């Protein structure tokens, strides 16, 4: 997966490549999907949701330029895989999931794979961020929004970085947002298709 899907597609950050090698994706997909755990695709995790394509997880992590002292907020924990990758790159990860059963699944998967030490799974509406634990050095949003939720921008440190898919339910641009010296700028890393960021 790392050689064929990541290294040849401009994932160059050695820390990101090491994290992708380190976290066993098969431990995060449901039993029925294990044979295809390293396929170049998103995969169903139940409740109409998906585990993201490995390349997308790596690209988002690379765009965040994480340091091992960073605190990261993830919106959309799903099965916990992306949170485990972020946790290998940062000091602490808080991941929010709207669907209680998936929040529980993420927590169990992180525990089983020994990654729960620096990850907190919260069940709730991630479009509001997590004001109690803000601000964050980086924010990674794994569900598509019509626009960047204002609470997330407010909870981003200065300097700070956010990745978020913005657009319709069919296609989104993956925005890389930077806050620096009070200014917010962004560029598009790629185009993508995520499940929607929903309201409770």
Q: Are 185 and 153 in contact (CB under 8 A)?
A: no
52 is catalytic: yes
Choose among 64, 95, 67: nearest CA to 81: 95
Q: Which one of 6, 16, 59, 76 is in contact with ligand SAH (CB under 6 A)? A: 76
- State the minimum distance, in angstroms, from the CB of residue 185 to ligand SAH: 25
- State the minimum distance, in angstroms, from the CB of residue 113 to ligand SAH: 12
Give the angle 91-80-172 at the CA atoms, nearest 5°: 100
Q: Which residue has the tokens 């185009």?
A: 191
Does 49 sit near ligand SAH (CB under 6 A)?
A: yes
C-alpha of 149 from chain center: 16
Q: Are 103 and 122 in contact (CB under 8 A)?
A: yes
Does 155 sit near ligand SAH (CB under 6 A)?
A: no
132: left (phi over 0), alpha (psi -120 to 50) or beta: alpha
Marked catalytic residue, from 52, 113, 168, 169: 52
**Largest Cα span, the chain:** 48
Q: Which one of 143, 163, 164, 176 is in contact with ligand SAH (CB under 6 A)? A: 143
The stretch among 7-15, 30-38, 95-103, 153-161 that binds ligand SAH (CB under 6 A) is: 95-103
Give the DSSP letter of residue 21: H
Does 55 sit near ligand SAH (CB under 6 A)?
A: no
Q: Which one of 88, 97, 137, 163 is in contact with ligand SAH (CB under 6 A)? A: 97
Binding interface with ligand SAH (CB under 6 A): 49-52, 75-79, 81-82, 96-99, 102, 125-127, 142-143, 195, 197-198
Supply the residues annotated as catalytic: 52
């Amino acid at each position: 997966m790392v050689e064929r899907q990541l290294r040849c597609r401009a994932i160059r950050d050695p820390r990101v490549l090491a994290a992708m090698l380190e976290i066993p994706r098969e431990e995060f997909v449901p039993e029925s999907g294990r044979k295809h755990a390293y396929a170049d695709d998103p995969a169903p995790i139940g409740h109409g949701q998906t585990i993201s394509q490995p390349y997308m997880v790596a690209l988002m992590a690379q765009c965040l330029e994480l340091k091992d002292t960073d605190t990261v907020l993830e919106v959309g924990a799903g099965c916990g895989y992306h949170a485990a990758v972020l946790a290998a790159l940062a000091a602490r990860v808080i991941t929010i999931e709207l669907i209680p059963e998936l929040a529980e699944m993420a927590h169990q998967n992180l525990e089983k794979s020994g990654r729960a030490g620096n990850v907190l799974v919260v069940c709730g509406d991630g479009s509001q961020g997590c004001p109690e634990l803000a601000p964050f050095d980086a924010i990674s949003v794994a569900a598509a929004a019509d626009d960047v939720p204002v609470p997330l921008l407010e909870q981003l440190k200065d300097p700070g970085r956010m990745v978020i898919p913005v657009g319709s339910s069919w296609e989104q641009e993956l925005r890389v947002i930077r806050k620096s010296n009070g200014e917010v700028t962004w560029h598009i890393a790629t185009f993508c298709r995520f499940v929607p960021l929903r309201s409770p």
